[in-house]
Amino acid sequence: MLTLRSISYTTFLFVTALAAGALVILTFWGPARWHWAMTVGWCRLAVWSAKFFCGLTVVVEGKENLPSVPSVIMIKHTTALETLVQVVEFPRTTWVVKRELLWIPLFGWAIALALKPIAINRRAGRIAVKQVIDQGKQRLKEGSWVTVFPEGTRMPPGETQRYGVSGAALAKEARCPIVPVAQNAGDFWPRRGWHKRPGTVRFCIGPPIDPGDRPPRETNLLVQDWIETKMLEISSVYQERARAAAGPPATGSFPGDESC
């Protein structure tokens, strides 16, 4: 039954994404607000259908932390679900994505039109960072928030890698806050495979982090510390890996032995 529900949801998601993408492309001549409204509407449907088909309920925490000005969002990326949720819960947003995503027929074209993403060559190093800063500042000036997936790819639950510097560098140059986001969708929605288990996904928006005048790499450490600490709090997979890394408890010891 779990497999059937998961396949049904994935099929529904694929079919409705094709329909929504075609609608966006067919209305290419319309104003940007149309395309954004279509995107938000489809993402709402996708999040609702995750609950209908798979029993995945999304709870959003920390919306009171959202700044009143366009900001940089740095979000833990483990599944497609958190990307859908952030479109619904944040103001109009553009993404920093790998350029290959926009080459996908229909789907990629619709993303290019609706989100106006910053498409980078991830192997370009400093050139890619400069592109994010230059185009990101323009998007922020136009009123769009900028979403960065700082690890550059979907990470298996319980794992992290060094955060890319582009998001923190953009925030410093644009003098805007960074909003860190943690979520435990990966506990229920595996990075690969069909099965999606029922459960409650916590989508946690943290207090904004002011980049100030510190180096972007120092700001990255602050952002990563908040996200990874929150992940350890909300993710059962993180907790299991932490217990496994700690090893079995010592036997024959008592509180206070450490001082002996």
The pLDDT tens digits of the residues spanning 67-117 come to 999 999 999 999 999 999 999 999 999 999 989 989 988 889 999 999 999
Q: What is the pLDDT of residues 195-240, one digit of tens each?
A: 899 999 999 999 999 999 999 999 999 999 999 999 999 999 999 9
> 3-state secondary structure string, the chain?
CHHHHHHHHHHHHHHHHHHHHHHHHHCCCCCHHHHHHHHHHHHHHHHHHHHHHHCEEEEEECHHHCCCCCCEEEECCCCCHHHHHHHHHCCCEEEEEEHHHHHCCCHHHHHHHHHCCEEECCCCCHHHHHHHHHHHHHHHHCCCEEEECCCCCCCCCCCCCCCCCHHHHHHHHHCCCEEEEEECHHHCCCCCCCCCCCEEEEEEECCCECCCCCCHHHHHHHHHHHHHHHHHHHCHHHHHHHHHHHCCCCCCCCCCHHHC
Kindly tell me the burial class for residue 47, based on how many C-beta atoms sit within 10 Å of its own C-beta (0-12, 13-18, 19 or more).
buried
Confidence tier at 194 by pLDDT (50, 70, 90): confident
State the pLDDT at residue 250.
Answer: 57
Residue 143 has pLDDT above 70, yes or no: yes
Please give the mean pLDDT across all residues of the chain.
91
Cα–Cα dist 223/219, whole Å: 6
Take residue 159 and report the two structure tokens written for it: 């794992």
Residue 258 has pLDDT above 50, yes or no: no
State the pLDDT at residue 158.
Answer: 82
State the pLDDT at residue 75.
Answer: 96
Cα–Cα dist 80/46, whole Å: 10
Residue 207 CB neighbours (<10 A) = 13
State the pLDDT at residue 253.
Answer: 42
Higher pLDDT, 247 or 149: 149
Cα–Cα dist 55/105, whole Å: 31
Contact predicate 210/71, CB 8 Å:
no
State the pLDDT at residue 204.
Answer: 98
Q: What is the pLDDT of residues 119-134, one digit of tens each?
A: 999 888 889 999 999 9
Please report where in the chains the tokens 């819960």 appear, as a residue.
89
Of 154, 100, 140, 95, the C-alpha closest to 122 is: 100
State the pLDDT at residue 256.
Answer: 43
pTM for the model stands at 0.90
Confidence tier at 3 by pLDDT (50, 70, 90): confident
Residue 254 has pLDDT above 50, yes or no: no
